[in-house]
A = this chain, B = another copy of it.
Amino acid sequence: MTANHSHEDCVVEPALDVLFGKWKVSILYLLFQGTKRFSELQKSIPGITKKMLISHLRDLEEQDVILRIVYPSVPPRVEYSLTETGQSLGPILELMHQWGIKHEEQLMRKRSSEAVTQS
């Protein structure tokens, strides 16, 4: 996914792959608040199915972004948390968040200034 171009110096794909997926950022967002159980994540993300949650968690785990700890109790208890690699995604998310805000502002300014900017 997300390109097989061979522009040698443009290594942004890994981060993109980690972030891509309909619910990945939601999951990461929650885990930035601290360790969460599977059921906590599920109820905190309305609309997500177990399949997708598991699928995304597996992806993130495999990419060493999150840590999965299983407590062999009855019933089973599984906790997910960010690894250091996961934590290091913070600044990226923060920047993208700021960009999202600024972008919205900008679109609003564009609209209100169109009547003036016109020749």
Contact = CB atoms under 8 A, between A and B. Distances in A.
Contact size range, A: 35 or more
A95 interface: yes
Interface string A13-33: 111100111111110010000
A109 to B, nearest CB: 11
Contact of A101 (B11, B45, B100, B101): B11
24 contacts: A2-B20, A2-B21, A3-B24, A4-B47, A5-B23, A5-B46, A7-B26, A7-B29, A10-B26, A10-B97, A11-B100, A12-B25, A12-B93, A12-B97, A12-B100, A14-B96, A15-B97, A15-B99, A16-B96, A20-B20, A84-B106, A85-B103, A85-B106, A91-B95
